[in-house]
Structure 1
Amino acid sequence: MSLPYGFAKGKIVTAPQLKPTRQPHEVQYHLHFGLSVAGAQWDVAVNVGTTDADDLLKYKLLFDFRHAVLATLKEAASGSQNLTGQAALPAIDFQRSDFLDDTGKWRDSDVMDGTDAVEPVATLQRLLLRAQQAGNDVYVFGRFYSEGDGVHDIHMNQGSKGAFIHRPGDDSNDHNDIWQDGALLVDLGEPQWALYVAAFDQQYLPTDDLGNPTADSKPIS
């Protein structure tokens, strides 16, 4: 089954903090911040990189993002919108939509060292602090927390192998899926929007209808 997915629209109420999460072969890092969503404070965990040089993050960070879907997002009220099972924008699929058309090449993240001086942490942190100070609307696409209010998996959510393979009827808490890719957008004031998207080196495209890598898939890099 598909995991709960959608977006939250709100304003940043706590400054972003870099936090580590230990995995079997690496440490993953996220920028956490509080987002006021229709009067409730949500936790947002944005993936920014790892300590594993063989499984770094690919990312795009634009300050001049343009897409027709922005008009739809701008009209949305503050709150959360469940897009689980929706196979069209505003649900996001990097492979199956034109969301990333004309956004340029993927960049390589730095190897994380626990500081906020590395990229994309440094630039993304400045963007989030700017949005907090200016009271900009922030849109976070990803999977909703199973407990409490929050959004995580703010990265590509298809094309992984191993434990992430999606099998029909699978109700586990972490697997590939289509139309569930993560993104962070900031409305910086007409006409300027910022976009942050990410994917791991060891994620592959193209994917099948379950979001799993096809036999001819290649790393996103």
Structure 2
Amino acid sequence: MASACSVSGRSTSEVELIVITKNHPVTLVEQLVDLGHRQFGENRDQEAKPKAFELSASRPDSNPTWHFVGQLQSNKVKSVLQYANVIHSVDRPSLVAELAKQLPKLDRQISGFIELNLTSDPGRGGVLPENLEALASAVLQLENFELLGLMAVAGLGVDPRIDFDRALNSQQILLQVAPQARFLSMGMSEDFEIAIEMGATHIRVGSAITGPRVPTA
């Protein structure tokens, strides 16, 4: 990260590292907490929820920030809001409708990103760029929710610069509707240096830090 920021003339303080801990036990998260890290990402509620609660019990003063980075099913919203601080995958009107039902019940604010679909597959998670403005307008009406910006995943077998550039173009559309939503969640283990070069403010890195999952007996 420091090297990529230096090459791009950016400060490391401009980029938030989210360690993706999916498929790893809570003991790994505890080790990272003991090393001083506090930003963690998960993509499945059935794994993330017990892990978040276990960490709260074992490290009660750690105050971690949990990022939900997977596609969020509407029927999981209530559960995810029990522990997640940031949702990276707001991507469709039906999800916004469920968030509108559940968010007013919270006594705290959460934040999140609109996820872009940069592929030609409409079944993949994420809003198509042409539908971004309408979705953003709906998200801005949510109670207890701060819209941070856009999340994007580069496609397989594609130069990530191409997809990240498309995300930057979409960001200009979003900023017209939500000037404060200036953050970009993009870049993973394979392409985070390029993402930083192109302006990412949040990178989601898993295996480059955690290594492969250790098989259980």
Same fold, judged at TM 0.5 (above): no
Using the size of structure 2 for normalisation, the TM-score is 0.24
Q: Which has the higher strand share?
A: 1
Q: Per chain length, whose mean CA-contact separation is higher, i.e. which structure has more relative contact order (CA < 8 Å, sep 6+)?
A: 1
Q: Which has the higher helix share?
A: 2
